[in-house]
């Protein structure tokens, strides 16, 4: 994985516009033309989605019909107001600045701290046995969570080996840095990849996307060690982040629309942008997540890695801070909150919904037959996404909201505050 520090730019200068659900796309496009706005339709790029950035170079923006969202080029405030009036509807609901989005990764300046903590985790248990019986129960369970020849510790902790479900026939979209799809561990799998950049392929130069796909949809390595969750799922990997791990709200929206058009039940996103205390969540992405759920897709996203515990706990990042996007925090193999995992600090959205294994997590990378152990809420999110697919398989008529409920209700309660741990440690369905 490319661990170089990325200077995190915040806004692109473009605008993302959430439209009234009553506005029909034909009316919108006609009104846009009357406002001298050349607005492309994402449907025009479905055969070659990698060409959609051309909408910003050759015109003024793009409209995502399934999401009812438009992304408009720079300096279009006057035209936006005209469209708002000309559409003869109540209003354009939200007009927000477009953000830059990044892979959820730890930065170099804390790498030494991370390595020291990981070494500590490898050799000692941080969990103390208290006087309460529950403390002893958690301690006894946590001692079992180590990698061995049978499976990774994350597979054990989430009870994957006890489940008969494999994600069969469930479409999972992983939106990330792409996929090294010729890895030996993926032989024989149903894989669809797509880039949302006009240059390069959907392959994974970084490794982040491949690692996440391995956890969500993979199976085992050449030795037979199990590390992947939904081993019989159909893999849809959208490259929404470039080879440096950077994208935009627009590229993420394109990936979500593509995943929904491909009837993906689960959309997994180990990406985001950091938030400050009291930052509101994006009304646009909240509406997108609600529309996705109504159309059969559950969006799951990483809470982010901005904390340096115990001294600094940062709030859940964008877009995981949206109430209708499931936000995933990370724990270590002792069932303690990971030192980098963000917390549910903001009262207006931004809670952690579940936690999953996110320290020293084993998976495939973007090299033939190779694997590595990585840390992050990026690694925790694929566990929840893969297990969501198992629940969709178990309950073929369930809605995304019902699967959300199953995930939270069946989670293992941990000795963590809800701010850090949400409903608890995600668990695979057993019956």
User: Which of the residues 105, 185, 208, 251 is marked catalytic?
Assistant: 208
Residue-wise burial string across 353-386, b where 16 or more C-beta atoms lie within 10 A, e elsewhere: bbbbbbbbbbbbbbeeeebebbbbbbbbbbbbbb
User: Which of the residues 378, 385, 420, 423 is marked catalytic?
Assistant: 378
CA 79 – CA 81 distance, rounded (Å): 5
Q: Is 415 a catalytic residue?
A: no
CA 94 – CA 282 distance, rounded (Å): 9
Q: What is the largest CA-CA distance in the chain?
A: 72
Which residues is 174 bridged to in the sheet? 237, 268
CA 189 – CA 235 distance, rounded (Å): 8
Instruction: Tell me if 11 sits within 8 A of 100, measured CB to CB.
Output: yes
User: Which of the residues 176, 185, 221, 249 is marked catalytic?
Assistant: 176
CA 400 – CA 382 distance, rounded (Å): 17
Torsion-angle region of residue 300: left (phi > 0), alpha (psi -120 to 50) or beta? Answer: beta
Q: Is 378 a catalytic residue?
A: yes
Instruction: Tell me if 69 sits within 8 A of 19, measured CB to CB.
Output: yes
Extract the tokens encoding 337. Answer: 């909150």
Q: Is 60 a catalytic residue?
A: no
Nearest to 159 by CA among 169, 144, 149: 144
Residues designated catalytic? 176, 208, 378
């Amino acid at each position: 994985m490319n661990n170089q520090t990325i200077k995190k730019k915040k806004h692109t200068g473009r605008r993302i516009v959430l439209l009234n659900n009553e506005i029909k796309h034909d009316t919108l496009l006609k009104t846009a033309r009357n406002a001298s706005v050349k607005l492309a339709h994402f449907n025009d790029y479905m055969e070659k989605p990698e060409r959609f950035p051309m909408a910003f170079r050759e015109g003024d923006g793009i409209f995502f019909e399934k999401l009812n969202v438009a992304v408009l080029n720079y300096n279009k405030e006057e035209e936006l107001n005209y469209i708002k009036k000309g559409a003869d509807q109540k209003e354009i609901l939200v007009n927000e600045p477009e953000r830059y989005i990044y892979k959820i990764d730890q930065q170099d300046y804390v790498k030494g701290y991370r390595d020291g903590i990981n070494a500590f985790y490898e050799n000692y248990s941080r969990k103390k046995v208290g006087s309460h019986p529950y403390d002893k129960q958690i301690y006894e369970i946590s001692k079992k969570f180590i990698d061995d020849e049978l499976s990774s510790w994350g597979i054990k902790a989430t009870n994957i080996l006890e489940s008969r479900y494999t994600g069969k026939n469930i479409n999972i979209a992983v939106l990330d840095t792409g996929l090294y799809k010729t890895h030996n561990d993926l032989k024989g799998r149903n894989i669809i990849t797509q880039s949302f950049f006009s240059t390069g392929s959907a392959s994974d130069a970084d490794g982040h996307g491949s690692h996440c796909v391995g956890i969500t949809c993979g199976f085992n390595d050449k030795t037979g060690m199990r590390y992947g969750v939904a081993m019989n799922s159909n893999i849809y990997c959208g490259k929404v982040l470039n080879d440096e791990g950077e994208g935009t709200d627009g590229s993420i929206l394109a990936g979500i629309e593509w995943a929904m058009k491909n009837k993906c039940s689960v959309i997994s996103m180990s990406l985001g942008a950091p938030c400050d205390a009291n930052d509101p969540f994006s009304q646009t992405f909240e509406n997108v997540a609600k529309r996705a759920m109504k159309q059969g897709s559950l969006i799951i996203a990483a809470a982010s890695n901005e904390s340096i515990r115990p001294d600094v706990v940062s709030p859940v990042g964008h877009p995981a801070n949206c109430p209708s996007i499931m936000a995933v925090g990370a724990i270590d193999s002792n069932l303690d909150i990971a030192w980098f995992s963000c917390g549910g600090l903001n009262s207006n959205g931004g809670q952690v919904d579940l936690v999953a294994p996110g320290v020293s997590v084993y998976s495939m990378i973007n090299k033939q037959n190779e694997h590595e152990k990585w840390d992050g809420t990026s690694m925790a999110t694929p566990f929840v996404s893969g297990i969501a697919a198992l629940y969709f398989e178990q309950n073929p008529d369930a809605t995304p909201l019902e699967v959300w409920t199953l995930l939270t209700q069946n989670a293992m309660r941990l000795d963590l505050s809800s701010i850090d741990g949400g409903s608890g440690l995600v668990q695979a369905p057993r019956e």
